[in-house]
Amino acid sequence: MDRFQEVAQINFTDKKERFTRIIEHKHLTGQVNNSTSISYEYPTFDGEPYYPIPSSQTDLVYRKYLAETKKIEDVLFIERLGEYKYYNMDGVVARILKLVK
């Protein structure tokens, strides 16, 4: 289908659904085509957290990873996980579009 939903992200906070949000990616990129891609996000207590929790210990770990990334060419380590900072999604998309120009 051309569009799944009217906006890029819809959050589901009423607990009627197992997932917490649906993201339709083409709203963020401005793609024009006859199909679309969506993602469902499910909460879990297992695995690693995807939002950074700043502390002196995590800053030390981040600096070690940052030093390693400098050794790799033609790869950008940016945004939430790459820079270990919280960003709103609009800021993420704007920053990436600016960097890839």
| Choice between 74 and 51, residue whose per-residue pLDDT is larger | 74
- Give the separation between CA 74 and CA 6, rounded to whole angstroms: 35
pLDDT in tens, 10-34: 988 777 888 889 999 999 888 888 9
Going from the C-alpha of 85 to that of each of 19, 32, 53, 81, 91, the distances in angstroms are 24, 31, 8, 7, 12
C-alpha closest to that of 95 among 73, 11, 85, 53: 85
Task: State the amino acid at position 85 in one-letter form.
Answer: K
| Choice between 5 and 17, residue whose per-residue pLDDT is larger | 5
With a pLDDT cut of 90, the percent of the chain lying above it is: 31
* Whole-prediction pTM: 0.48
- Give the separation between CA 42 and CA 19, rounded to whole angstroms: 4
Q: Where are the domains of the chain?
A: 1-47, 50-101
Q: What is the mean pLDDT of the chain?
A: 85
